[in-house]
Homo-oligomer: A and B are copies of this chain.
Amino acid sequence: MKIKRSERLVDMTEYILARPHTLIPLTFFAKRYSSAKSSISEDLGILKKTFQDRGIGLVETVPGASGGAKYMPYILKEDARKFMDEMIEILNNSQRLLPGGYVYMSDIFGDPEKLRYLGRIIATQYLNQKVDAVLTVATRGVPIAQAVSTYLNVPLVIARHDSNITEGSTVNVNYMSGSSKKIKRMTISKRSLDEGSNVIIVDDFIHGGGTINGLSSLIKEFDCNLVGSTFFAEGASDKERDFGDYTSLVKMENQPNDEMIITEGNYDEKIFGSGK
């Protein structure tokens, strides 16, 4: 039975949103809706225009017999900025201050709506790059990393500090914790990454750079390529940093008397700098 355009548009929107960065053939939709390919092409044109007008993402259409459509989620600079400005205001609430100059953030990393925004913002950074996996380390970074992996539609790989019997053979690296100057260990399952994969690191916090060094070593051990590193927060540091390029959404600066000021990280330049 032929399906009406209105119903096609609704189902097609749902279908394509659930499968980011995946080329869906025109023939698939034509069959699914018992409709002519020319009608499907028109539908995709409407999706493409609406997604663009509303800042939902890019619908790339590939012409020809083997053609189709690919949805690539992004967020507009102004939407990202609006969200991040609100986020910074929320984080600067003095009730979030914890002893020792820490800030309570666990609720943010458990809030589905905020995770959707954070995932879209970070996915925008890697929109046009080949990414095969998102790598993070247990536990606090997992929700953000998972949100990013959802929008890029690539596997999430979680390194751990303790190796677990359910991981099988593991690859372990030792690294120097940047803040405590202690030797720590990081481990992931041997099966979790393919050689030559393009990997991004996503984590909640970067301070001394220990975690990024540990994760980078793991990436090297697997002969993978580090495409980029993005952190929700960076801590201010008076030391020279030697862990290379990274992106941060917010910056946390300790004040005298254990207060904390949270300001914008370098995301505007790093993610939107190229005029996206």
Instruction: Point out residues on A near B: beta carbons under 8 Å.
Output: 5-7, 9-11, 13-14, 17-19, 46-47, 49-51, 53-54, 56, 98-100, 102-107, 110-113, 115-116, 138-140, 142-143, 146, 149-150, 153-158, 160, 164-168, 189, 191-192
- Copies per complex of this chain: 2
Q: A18-B116, A104-B167, A110-B149 are in contact. Are A6 and B7 (CB under 8 A)?
A: no
B46 and A10 contacting across the interface, CB-CB below 8 Å: yes
Provide a sorted-by-A list of 15 A–B residue pairs whose CB atoms are within 8 angstroms: A11-B50, A11-B56, A13-B17, A14-B56, A98-B168, A100-B165, A104-B167, A105-B166, A106-B158, A106-B167, A110-B155, A112-B150, A139-B160, A140-B166, A146-B146
A14 and B11 contacting across the interface, CB-CB below 8 Å: no
In the bound complex, residues from chain B placing their C-beta under 8 Å from that of A14 are: 13, 17, 51, 54, 56
In the bound complex, residues from chain B placing their C-beta under 8 Å from that of A138 are: 138-139
B106 and A165 contacting across the interface, CB-CB below 8 Å: no
Interface hub of A110, A158, A164 (most chain B Cβ within 10 A): A110
Q: Given contacts A6-B46, A104-B168, could you give 13 more A-B pairs where the C-beta distance is less than 8 Å?
A: A6-B9, A7-B49, A10-B46, A98-B165, A102-B166, A104-B166, A107-B155, A110-B155, A110-B157, A116-B150, A139-B158, A143-B146, A143-B156
With A and B bound together, what is the CA distance between A155 and B106 in angstroms?
A: 10
Contact pick for A6, options B6, B11, B102, B113, CB 8 Å: B6
With A and B bound together, what is the CA distance between A28 and B56 in angstroms?
A: 18
B191 and A104 contacting across the interface, CB-CB below 8 Å: yes
Contact pick for A50, options B7, B99, B110, B160, CB 8 Å: B7
In the bound complex, residues from chain B placing their C-beta under 8 Å from that of A7 are: 46, 49-50, 53
With A and B bound together, what is the CA distance between A46 and B10 in angstroms?
A: 8
In the bound complex, residues from chain B placing their C-beta under 8 Å from that of A107 are: 155, 191-192
With A and B bound together, what is the CA distance between A53 and B8 in angstroms?
A: 11
Contact pick for A54, options B11, B53, B98, CB 8 Å: B11
In the bound complex, residues from chain B placing their C-beta under 8 Å from that of A111 are: 155
With A and B bound together, what is the CA distance between A113 and B17 in angstroms?
A: 12
